[in-house]
Structure 1
Amino acid sequence: MEEDFLGGLTGRIVIPSDPDYNLARQGWNHAVQNYPLIINYCQSQQDVRNAVLWSVNHSFPLRVRSGGHNYEGYSNGNRVLVIDLSEMNSITLEEEKNLLHIQGGVTNRLLYDFVSQKGYPFPGGTCPTVGVSGYASGGGWGLSCRYLGLGCDSLEEFELVDYRGTVLKANKSCNSDLFWACRGAGGGNFGVITSMTFQLPKKTRNVTLIEIDYLHVDSLIQERFLKVWQNWQATADNRMTLLARIYHTEADGPAMLVRGFFYGKPAEAKEMLEPFLLLPKAVKNIEYVTFLEAVTIIGSFYPPFEKFQAVSGFVFQDFVPSERAQLVSLIEAPAPGSVFTGLSLYALGGKVSETGTNDTAFFYRKARYILWLETIWEDDRYACYNRNWIACRYPEFNSLTTGSYVNFPYSGLYCYKKKYFGGHVRPLEEIKLKYDPDNVFTFPQGLFPSGNSPFEPVNNSQNPLKDIPWDSLVDLLEAEKQKETEKQQGSENQQEAENQQESGSQQGAENKLKPGNQQESETQQGAENQQGLGEQLGTENKLTPENQQNTRSSRNPRGFRYVTRRRKYRSF
């Protein structure tokens, strides 16, 4: 039955009974645990076409995954088909035209390694394992953006497999509306991007790497730090892009940091950074290194995975002293079990703002920076406390910011489409209807969100596939398809069932236990009462070799990305 059901899928297939399934299903944010039914590692464009057609023919929900870094797990889901592009990772260069061609599964690390050998920089992201196709289609912030633009600004063309399995080419003259939409509106909405072509900047061998740290400061210094940041933004040289952060941990107490690149010499950078360096407890490392060394050092701060939740917004204005104090207060009382709380500031402006608001789907071109509030935990017992910590602070955070960055998604956003896409919502919806009228490519925060089927993603720590044989899962899928067919016959039966439920009649209860719903009902009931089972499952997962390899050192529970390099200053 397995072979019959999977017939038509090509590439490498992983299902729940396979030994590598538990590792294959994980995204970077381990706070979100999804259990797909099929993971299809595509190795060619034809594999992708086959997967899309299989999904449509089986009325089977799909997700598209490149690097697996969607913070809310939207590139994955429960009982879905995951089209994974990570094994499509070839890169070629047309050096006479400075054109870089990549497949849809290329990561920042692979791209940086390739272009640096040829002498080029690239406006990529900071985390080495992020997929470039998802990064660029959502806009693409990085430490070169003020000088080289967002990742999407260098995009010249891409190929996309649509809901019919057809390969579409999109550029400024061919399917230009689709090309516009996929430069800022995020991946997974219109189809599967299988390749991208970027225009490379002029060759640059060296950059100045900027690292400044301030440990064990107080809230007043953090407020001064935010003021210095605002002043720097007002007159910043386009060649310099900074990331700043105020944060709190047990080891560092209240602390701050600055990271950045400057496309110039260190002496000039130090002069520009003098206000930051004059703040108390500043410890600096400003050095001239190759572009590859710079991105590798920044990338080394990222752990193999994290458990976190965060929310982002754009800032267009200066904050008055009371508002800066308000921002600092957001992180002063961490959630129970939190190992890190932080407020990060990602500089925009420069070349980002030189591109018109309507030139791409990235709406917030004129913002000064992105603000990001985050909490990280390790023990699953504290997950709900940390999620509530973000939820409780979101209204205040929302009052100080505008919109939200689609590459930093938050499931609790108010009016998420308006937040992510601003004034571009309507044209994006029209483009969505044109290129995906059946809403094949969808997820909970898609342009047309997914529904409430039991086959949609659920952010939980319970495994809905545990101990269910493959044949039973296939039967369950067929029952769900039959149930959807019955629902489409009319609303009369639905209304009758609702009336029976309200009256509490036994007949109504029996009608609700149709074959398609009985398994679902039993699964849901078990999920409500199996907290102990979930903990046991979590223990089993922790004992797997894959997870043992990914376990972070207890000396540095937050991973590298919030601390200075150990070889330079200190260790935990």
Structure 2
Amino acid sequence: MEQSHLAALEDFLKNHPGIKCTLPSSPQYLADRKVFILSRKANPLAIAHPETAEQVSVLVQFLRSNGIKFTVRAGGHHLLGFSIEEGALTIDMRAFASVDIAANRETATVGAGILQHELCNALWDKGLATPTGAIPSVGYLGWAMYGGYGPFSSHWGLGVDQIVAATLVDASGAIVRADDTLLKAVRGAGGAFGIIIDVSIKVYHLKSLLTGAIFYDSQEISKTFMDYNAKYQEISKHGLPKQLTLQQMVVNGPPGRVFCVSFMWSSESIEEGYHWCNKIACLGTVIMNTVEVTTIPKWYSGNAALIPSTMYGSFRTHSVKDMTQEVTGCIGRALEKLPADPGTMFSIHQLRDTSETPASASVFSTREPHFMLEIVGCATTTEKAETSEQWAFDTWAEVKNTNSSNLLDHVYISLDHVEYPCDLHTLTRYFGDYAQDILTTKKDYDPENVFGLTVPRLGNLL
């Protein structure tokens, strides 16, 4: 079957010479199939590189009529590697990297293949910013569509809430503007209903930035972690400014395992930002503080030097209402066992009260204030990956055994470790009461499951 599909594809390409495509026989094939998680060994049928919406349209029509499965890739950071699939065509959207700022400077239309640092650099040049994640090489759209926690979440909200419009190629191959129903589904369930060409997003005025990391003495890392959270809980009772976003992290650096807090102050009131930086620094014994006035491009450049470009392994996640003593004690014990590899990490994202930044109509359901745990069971070599994955699983299992009333029913789809196809229970864990809305939208907009290998994969639920 694969050989016949490849022959059909080659005939199609002869009739559409403008569509670039990397075939398995090409010396570029191995490089083009590469994704962030190297544990994913799937070999796609080929990798297509469309450059226009019209090319995507004719590709979808051809693939549908020939029964050829396909995946879609932008940044290639999907944490289960689902942007490639054995025997399926990969449609690589990296050519769609445009940024068009509206005349009123309140929105921008961005291409589906743009990376986080490309978007932020383009906006910063115009005195603007928008919520993104901290890793520059991550594809913006995949990050935003499924939720989008990040260092600006407390100020402007999640990535999913920035999307105000979308253009996509639907199941028939038509280029369409998302209506209200489809847009709501895209906000949270991503590309399960079509191939996104571009999205319009909210942008915000920002000309200065105070950011960096505060590193704490981590010789007794469990105690450091627990003490920080107990003290943080006390100061947060009195309220935190929305311009302040904090992300707790435990990473493996040259000195060894260390607990730090990523500090982001997205406001031009720099003096007030330093006041809060000092307050956060007082929550432990500081060994290094890199917080400074900088720019988003420089901040991203620094982050790029700290994160491995590829890794082996997998991720786990939980969301908890509060960082209780039981939870911090459980995590603290796990941190003492953290494998010594740059790819093995732990971090905590917080979604605070969002009443000042009301959510857009979406199927993203985890809206109550909570802490989202990012348990990174990865390593930079295959030899170490198994140990890191086991550590991540053990940490996840320990947290799962804490007080169930403090655990949220919903989990973050972008970090969850689950085997597909998706069942209704899993879909409900991701989307809560919106699970049925997603299935209804899928049946209305893609009844033949043309986009069957996108995320979430819904084929067995139709």
TM-score where L is the length of structure 2 = 0.87
Question: Residue 259 of structure 1: which of 258, 262, 270 is its match?
Answer: 262
Shift of 1:416: 2.7
Q: 1:258 to 1:65 in 2, by over 3 A?
A: same
1:236 aligns with 2:249: no
Q: Is the 8 A contact 1:36 1:76 kept in 2?
A: yes
For 1:480-491, list aligned pairs within 5 A: none
Aligned twin of 1:57: 65
Matching of residue 430 in structure 1 with residue 440 in structure 2: yes
Aligned match of 1:308: 313
Q: Take 1:31 and 1:211, find their aligned partners in 2: how far apart are those partners?
A: 30
Q: CA deviation at 1:97?
A: 5.2
Structure-2 change in CA distance of 1:255 and 1:412 (3 Å): farther
Residue 343 of structure 1: which of 335, 343, 346 is its match? 346
2:194 is equivalent to residue 191 of structure 1: yes
- State the 1:232 CA deviation: 4.7
Kept in 1, the 8 Å contact 2:164–2:200? The answer is: yes
The correspondence of residues 123-522 of structure 1 with structure 2, limited to 5 A, is 123-170=131-178, 175-185=179-189, 187-201=190-204, 203-218=205-220, 219-234=222-237, 235-247=239-251, 249=252, 251-262=254-265, 263-278=267-282, 279-319=284-324, 321-334=325-338, 338-351=341-354, 354-356=357-359, 359-400=361-402, 401-402=407-408, 403-411=410-418, 415-443=425-453, 446-449=456-459
Contact 2:99 2:108 (C-alpha < 8 Å) held by counterparts: yes
8 A contact 2:191–2:454 mirrored in 1: no
Aligned residues: 441
SS at match of 2:433: helix
Gaps of 5+ in 1: 452-572
Cα shift readout 1:311-358 (whole Å, capped 9, x = no counterpart): 122222241x233111112232245x85554321112224477425x8
Letter in 2 for 1:76: I
| Structure 1 segment 528-543 matched on structure 2, within 5 A | none
Map Cα deviations across residues 524-553 of structure 1 (whole Å, 9 max, x no partner): xxxxxxxxxxxxxxxxxxxxxxxxxxxxxx
Superposed CA deviations along residues 359-399 of structure 1, whole A, max 9, x for unmatched, are: 32111111323111112223313433433333344332334
Q: 1:298–1:380: structure 2 CA closer, same or farther, 3 Å change rule?
A: closer
Cα offsets for 1:137-185 (capped at 9, x unmatched): 1122221121112222222211111111112212xxxx21110111122
- Distance in 2 (CA, whole Å) between partners of 1:210 and 1:322 is 29
Give 1 or 2: higher strand fraction: 2
Rounded Cα–Cα distance in structure 1 between residues aligned with 2:330 and 2:279: 22
* Aligned mates of 1:352, 1:79 — CA distance in 2: 46
Q: Which letter maps to 2:320?
A: V
**Partner of residue 122, structure 2:** 114
Kindly indicate whether the alpha-carbon contact (under 8 Å) linking 1:223 and 1:325 is maintained by their aligned counterparts in 2. yes
Deviation at 1:430, TM superposition (A): 0.9
Whole-angstrom distance in 2 between the partners of 1:253 and 1:300: 17
Q: RMSD over aligned Cα, in angstroms? A: 2.6
State how far apart, in whole Å, the 2-side matches of 1:296 and 1:386 are.
27
Assess if the C-alpha contact under 8 Å between 1:112 and 1:121 holds in 2.
yes
Cα pair 2:263 2:277 within 8 Å, conserved = no
Sort the Cα spacing of 1:339 and 1:105 in 2 relative to 1 into closer, same or farther, 3 A.
Answer: closer
Cα–Cα, structure 1 residues 354 and 101, in superposed 2: closer, same or farther, change >3 Å? closer
Percentage of matched positions with identical amino acids: 20
| Rg comparison, structure with higher value | 1
Residues 281 and 291 from structure 1, CA distance in 2 versus in 1: closer, same or farther, beyond 3 angstroms? closer
Alpha-carbon separation, structure 2, partners of 1:118 and 1:432: 38
Structure 1 residues 257 and 309, CA, compared in 2 at 3 Å: closer, same or farther?
A: same
CA distance in 1, matches of 2:257, 2:236: 23
**Equivalent AA in structure 1 for residue 426 of structure 2:** Y
Give the CA deviation at 1:46.
1.2
1:63 and 1:188 in contact (8 A); partners too? no
